[in-house]
Structure 1
Amino acid sequence: MKKFIGCILTLLMAFSGFSQEVFFSVNQIGFQPSDTKKAVIFSKKKISSKVHLVHLPDSSSTIRIKPKAIESGVWGNFYYYLLDFSSITETGDFILWHSDSKSSSAKFQISDQAYQGMQEYLLEFMRQQRCGYNPVLDMVCHLQDGRSFYGAMPDSTYVDASGGWHDAGDQLKYLITGSYATGHMLMAYQLFPDQFEDQVNALGQIEKNGIPDVLDEAKWGLDWLLKLHTEPDQLIHQIADDRDHRGFKIPNKDNADYGWGENSYRAAYFATGKPQGLMQYQSEATGMANLAGRSAAALALGSRIWKEFDDVFAQKCLKSAKSLYALGRENEGFQQGNSYSAPYRYNEETWNDDMEWGAAELFKATGDSSYLEQAKDYAVASSNADSWTVRDSAAHYQLYPFINLGHFSLYEVVDQEFKKTLEGYYKEGIEYTLANSKSSPFEVGIPFIWCSNNLMTSLATQLILYEKMSGDQSFQPYLLAQRDWLFGKNPWGTSMFTGIPEWGDYPIYVHTAPYVLLDLEIPGGLVDGPIFRTIHSNLLGLTLERPDDYPGRQNPFVVYHDAVGDYSTNEPTMDGTAGSIIMMSYFSQKK
């Protein structure tokens, strides 16, 4: 059953035949008492009457808010109004109520504990994506990954590339995304070590093991990265390809056939720094420094953290990090994802940012000053040239990762002058998107390309890291606007994370096999999110197998559907979810 019912008060008071349809958009989790607290109300007709902020459960009116008209710009078709109730610090559960139309917002809370523990839901989704042993499904899959292509050995040679995570609703595995997810989780722990629980063991089963669950999940990634770097000059970058796309399937009953029968060996692609593709669609490639540098960063950071838990494993990670970084130095440039019979792939074209991050982490792990000097050189080369935040559009995953974590990693080990340079890189991107946000009723300035939610959570993370670097809190309202968009202050009034908040409107009909075949609703997964209509209308294979939940709320600018068939807006991604953990951990802190 579709989860969004609205609050009980609205259902009791609503009646048929009212003259005006009014829509509320508000963060359904809610606000901490000190937050800027804003919502948007919109309608096809002008709204003049005030809106009540209603305290639950007694339904007492706390304040009456006069809606402030907002320019609609390209969002068109509606009259938009801002509701600002930042002055309210009283805690509890609330709704916004418009008496003329007898309509209300979803329930939300004001509490200093509003976001406590939310990051654990994201880790639960990551466990669902595990390949090898999957604790959510309690099954083993893809232990025969894989058979080599483009490697130093003859094609079809067996190599052990089991483990890692399924990338999204499909069951491909990419070093492009796996390396970033691993590094991001490790940095989240480094920044917020007290925010993570210990409820599961290394296999993801419910059993405490004395290690925070975020590190258990990150180690799942580290173990895979170690496997993929088979020799000093070898690196596997992808398992499987779009031959995987044969409908929804449970991982241990994979019907894809890569030449060895169904549910058997899958292709394991080695990075070469050159274009690849077994059929007509060839990737572009100039090197492998993006993969090698990012993997080196994750392993070097992991080596420093794991000294506390397992020094032998820590040394193994450090040795591999050094080797990978050297491989990146020898092969500067980028390696992209591979496709087989479809034109879609990960189009990453950046690498200086990854080598900066790898060098910075290796300097911290070894104290070798040559790494520090190289990190600074890569930082200047990357600057904002690798960032989507100063552009109005980009190809799919062209500017990946969607935040340069190398700038933040390097910041703590450089002199004051270089610190200002790194701060400036982050600030320039923030200010560019902020300027774009002025034309949005929802205060968002990202380009709505495919996986726009990844951009949104990455921008929020950049705002958080900039604040930590500079101490400048002037962008706090902008940061909160990005957070609020993700949880309901958007045209559709929905959260972009499955199951969050549990009482709200969130994606249910997601493009994943566990939902479609097993009716599993796993919380914490970040869906791809809204996309420009101009892009959406040209994508192949999109279908709506159920009625649109938001027909009255759709606008001519961007589109979102909670529908299994809309893979472009409603497919949860592993890296998007992992890439939201710093943001979630930040807000989880008691303010």
Structure 2
Amino acid sequence: MKTVLRGFLIFIWGISLVVEGYGQADVYLRVNQLGYLANDEKEALIFSHSPVREPVQLIRSADDEVIMAFKPERRKTANWGNFDFYYTLNFTSFTSPGEYYLQTKKSLRQSASFKIGPEAYAHHQETLLTFMRQQRCGYNPVLDMVCHEKDGRSFYGPMPDSTYVDLSGGWHDAGDQLKYLITGSYATAHMLMAFDLYPEKFADAYNALGQAGSNGIPDVLDEAKWGLDWIHKMHAGPDLLFHQVADDRDHRGFKIPNQDNSDYGWGENSYRATYLATGKPQGLGKYKSQATGLANLAGRSAAAMALAARIWEKHLNDPLYAAKCRKAAISLYRLGREHEGYQQGNSYGAPYRYNEETWADDMEWGAAELFALTGENAYLEQAKAYALMSSNEDAWTVRDTAAHYQLYPFINMGHFALHRHVEADFKQILEGYYQAGIDYTLKRATQNPFHIGVPFIWCSNNLLTSLITQAILYEKMSGDSQYHHFLTTQRDWLFGRNPWGTSMFTGMPDKGETPDDVHTSVYVMLGLEVPGGLVDGPIYRSIHDSLLGLTLNDPDEFAHLQNNHVVYQDDVGDYSTNEPTMDGTAGAILMMAHFGREASQKATAIKQD
């Protein structure tokens, strides 16, 4: 009888604790698993179905010593999905380096561990380059194989259809094995700008082929050159610019790259269709792209080439390659001037494609970089004119939604590239474009407890890394640091301060909650877990549930955290939220270099002039 009574009292006591907010099993603590720099604003988020009234402790991982305790502060914003109570926990004042975790004092609910100090972000820009090497087409150093040697057979060109053109190289776009100049040109130019801003942050641990071993060139430039060499091929003549290799006939399940079962009319693992940019709608199958010109492709390819010409001349002492890139930059930009407008990606049997509809931003970037390269005033005046044409019309940051890749790239790098060359009044105009986008997304962020500012359209993580980059560049341009808190909360979402408590980068951090069951062939067929890949990220459930062919392979591990608003699933079958992308990863490199600090083992670096 005493045993029964004791059990009954314990049961009643447990209910009491839940009612009072103690001992509850549904308290979730969300932190940036990668960590925080000492001077960062450090803010964790707590959410629960019921009130949380107990203190939260900051605990040192090495010896489980309690460092300090905090009282959670209730967030007064609209709820996010199924949880009614959200709290923030600010520990900005704590700056001592080390590894820590958070824990509720009585119910002992723990967060993921995280670092504070310079090691938190040390060299993770190099981790992203690991994923970029995995995406290489031609010789792939991660798989140690050569693939798609027969790319490809041309269509829509002045030459007869099916004419062979050597377009081997470049990067596979995502989990599929298509290659797009749309994304390849941006990835190349972004990496070059990241190096131009942070040359001391990049290591030299791999050679030009992506194999382990130093070659005297920072690895980010080796990777960018992989893209540059492919763009040189794509620009096969003064009036020729190919824009795509392969199409959705590629989508025949998971496959090893050198055993490609797709058939474009020449048998499996053979020639693939390649498309010349004509500035007109294209499509060999049921679906046709839209197009009005090719300045989007030519403009940002020109920007990449102009950046490369400066870098190879000044930093690598290679005047021959610099001259080759200079010539290509001038030629590509001229092509854009002659064919203003946009070229989209092509599909064959599926309705999905890259729907880019902007181009003035790319021409602004190309003209600004060409002015920096040549000093010719005509480029400067044209860059200013394109900047005014672009304004914020090309920006997703001042809209609530957009079609897939409609407003690409997701940041206008041209505004930053032009800023240093113009007078004070025009500087303010360019700063204003960036600021308007930041303000618009900030207003959205204040309406949800996670303080996240992006719309959850397809590839929301790409939007987010671009927004972070825009905030970084705005601060460099203006000296205005008022958005620093907003900047860090957007970054922290990517590494675990989100409903699912997961990083959005594969293998970052290496012992954290990260995307595991990613939608890539190398994982599914070879079991390779390659770190550094940015997955597409959460999307509105209304979009998610309408997509074709999306099925889960396993039960949803985040089912208890999902809602009817936004969904993310770590599952091979979810190509909409859990597929790492090449351009998304490349587009995060500047951000990671910005937050990176010197590691204990000093990187080999090239010093800025």
**TM-score with structure 1 length normalisation?**
0.96
Aligned to 1:160: 166
Deviates more, 1:102-111 or 1:154-163: 102-111
Aligned to 2:465: 457
Q: Helix, strand or coil for the counterpart of 2:60?
A: strand
Aligned to 1:56: 61
Report the alpha carbon displacement of residue 367 of structure 1 after superposing the two structures with TM: 1.1
Describe the superposition over 1:41-61 as per-residue Cα deviations: whole angstroms up to 9, x where unpaired: 111112111111111222121
Q: Does 1:219 align with 2:245?
A: no
> In 1, distance between residues paired with 2:357 and 2:345?
11
Aligned to 1:282: 288
> In 1, distance between residues paired with 2:476 and 2:399?
24
- Tell me: CA distance 1:533–1:343, structure 2 relative to 1, closer, same or farther (3 Å): same
Q: Does 1:97 align with 2:108?
A: no
Aligned to 1:541: 549
Q: Does 1:584 align with 2:597?
A: no
**1:346-425 to 2 correspondence within 5 Å?**
346-425=354-433
Aligned to 1:472: 480
Q: Helix, strand or coil for the counterpart of 1:543?
A: coil
Q: Helix, strand or coil for the counterpart of 1:484?
A: helix
Equivalent residue letter for 1:117: H
Q: Helix, strand or coil for the counterpart of 1:426?
A: helix
> In 2, distance between residues paired with 1:87 and 1:197?
32
> In 1, distance between residues paired with 2:534 and 2:583?
9
Moved over 4 A (4+): none
**1:193-208 to 2 correspondence within 5 Å?**
193-208=199-214
In percent, how many aligned pairs have the same letter?
65
Q: Helix, strand or coil for the counterpart of 2:593?
A: helix
Describe the superposition over 1:339-375 as per-residue Cα deviations: whole angstroms up to 9, x where unpaired: 0000000000000000000001111111111011000
- Cα contact 2:330–2:370 (8 A) shared by 1: yes
Matched residues, number: 575
Equivalent residue letter for 2:221: L
Aligned to 1:68: 73
Equivalent residue letter for 2:346: N
- Cα contact 2:79–2:449 (8 A) shared by 1: no
- Cα contact 2:86–2:449 (8 A) shared by 1: yes
Deviates more, 1:85-94 or 1:479-488: 85-94
- Tell me: CA distance 1:346–1:242, structure 2 relative to 1, closer, same or farther (3 Å): same
**1:173-188 to 2 correspondence within 5 Å?**
173-188=179-194
Give the superposed CA RMSD: 1.2
Q: Helix, strand or coil for the counterpart of 2:561?
A: coil
> In 1, distance between residues paired with 2:459 and 2:484?
24
Report the alpha carbon displacement of residue 113 of structure 1 after superposing the two structures with TM: 2.4
Report the alpha carbon displacement of residue 143 of structure 1 after superposing the two structures with TM: 0.9
Report the alpha carbon displacement of residue 589 of structure 1 after superposing the two structures with TM: 3.0
Q: Helix, strand or coil for the counterpart of 1:563?
A: coil
Equivalent residue letter for 2:306: A
- Cα contact 1:20–1:45 (8 A) shared by 2: no
Report the alpha carbon displacement of residue 590 of structure 1 after superposing the two structures with TM: 5.9
Report the alpha carbon displacement of residue 560 of structure 1 after superposing the two structures with TM: 0.4
> In 1, distance between residues paired with 2:24 and 2:224?
54
Equivalent residue letter for 2:174: A
Aligned to 2:346: 338
Which residue among 41, 50, 54 is the counterpart of 1:45? Answer: 50
- Cα contact 2:201–2:598 (8 A) shared by 1: no
Aligned to 2:26: 21
Aligned to 1:4: none
Q: Does 1:124 align with 2:130?
A: yes
Q: Does 1:31 align with 2:36?
A: yes
> In 2, distance between residues paired with 1:536 and 1:108?
31
**Unaligned stretches of 5+ in structure 1?**
1-16
- Cα contact 1:359–1:372 (8 A) shared by 2: yes
> In 2, distance between residues paired with 1:530 and 1:88?
31
> In 2, distance between residues paired with 1:585 and 1:138?
28
Q: Does 1:141 align with 2:147?
A: yes
Report the alpha carbon displacement of residue 99 of structure 1 after superposing the two structures with TM: 3.5
Report the alpha carbon displacement of residue 454 of structure 1 after superposing the two structures with TM: 0.2
- Cα contact 1:70–1:441 (8 A) shared by 2: yes
> In 2, distance between residues paired with 1:149 and 1:40?
53
Equivalent residue letter for 1:59: D
Report the alpha carbon displacement of residue 19 of structure 1 after superposing the two structures with TM: 4.1
> In 2, distance between residues paired with 1:98 and 1:19?
10
Q: Helix, strand or coil for the counterpart of 1:178?
A: helix
- Cα contact 2:453–2:490 (8 A) shared by 1: no
Q: Helix, strand or coil for the counterpart of 2:274?
A: strand
Deviates more, 1:56-65 or 1:558-567: 56-65
Larger radius of gyration: 2
Report the alpha carbon displacement of residue 455 of structure 1 after superposing the two structures with TM: 0.4
> In 1, distance between residues paired with 2:98 and 2:121?
14
Report the alpha carbon displacement of residue 100 of structure 1 after superposing the two structures with TM: 3.6
- Cα contact 1:448–1:558 (8 A) shared by 2: yes
Report the alpha carbon displacement of residue 151 of structure 1 after superposing the two structures with TM: 0.6
Equivalent residue letter for 2:164: Y
- Cα contact 2:364–2:384 (8 A) shared by 1: yes
Aligned to 1:267: 273
Equivalent residue letter for 2:63: D
> In 2, distance between residues paired with 1:554 and 1:67?
23
**1:319-330 to 2 correspondence within 5 Å?**
319-330=327-338
> In 2, distance between residues paired with 1:74 and 1:40?
13
Aligned to 1:255: 261
Describe the superposition over 1:545-567 as per-residue Cα deviations: whole angstroms up to 9, x where unpaired: 01212122223221001000000
Aligned to 2:4: none
> In 2, distance between residues paired with 1:544 and 1:456?
25
Equivalent residue letter for 1:305: I
Equivalent residue letter for 1:23: Y
Aligned to 2:12: none
- Cα contact 1:21–1:101 (8 A) shared by 2: no
Aligned to 1:570: 578
Q: Does 1:106 align with 2:112?
A: yes
Describe the superposition over 1:198-227 as per-residue Cα deviations: whole angstroms up to 9, x where unpaired: 011110011111000000000000000000
Report the alpha carbon displacement of residue 377 of structure 1 after superposing the two structures with TM: 0.1
Describe the superposition over 1:71-104 as per-residue Cα deviations: whole angstroms up to 9, x where unpaired: 3525132111111111111221111111343310
Q: Helix, strand or coil for the counterpart of 1:124?
A: helix
Report the alpha carbon displacement of residue 138 of structure 1 after superposing the two structures with TM: 0.3
Deviates more, 1:31-40 or 1:346-355: 31-40
- Tell me: CA distance 1:428–1:187, structure 2 relative to 1, closer, same or farther (3 Å): same
Aligned to 2:605: none
Q: Helix, strand or coil for the counterpart of 1:113?
A: helix
- Tell me: CA distance 1:212–1:418, structure 2 relative to 1, closer, same or farther (3 Å): same
Equivalent residue letter for 1:33: A
**Unaligned stretches of 5+ in structure 2?**
1-17, 600-609
Equivalent residue letter for 1:51: V
Q: Does 1:295 align with 2:301?
A: yes
- Cα contact 2:123–2:598 (8 A) shared by 1: no
> In 2, distance between residues paired with 1:558 and 1:590?
37
Equivalent residue letter for 1:29: L
> In 1, distance between residues paired with 2:538 and 2:140?
29
- Cα contact 2:81–2:562 (8 A) shared by 1: no
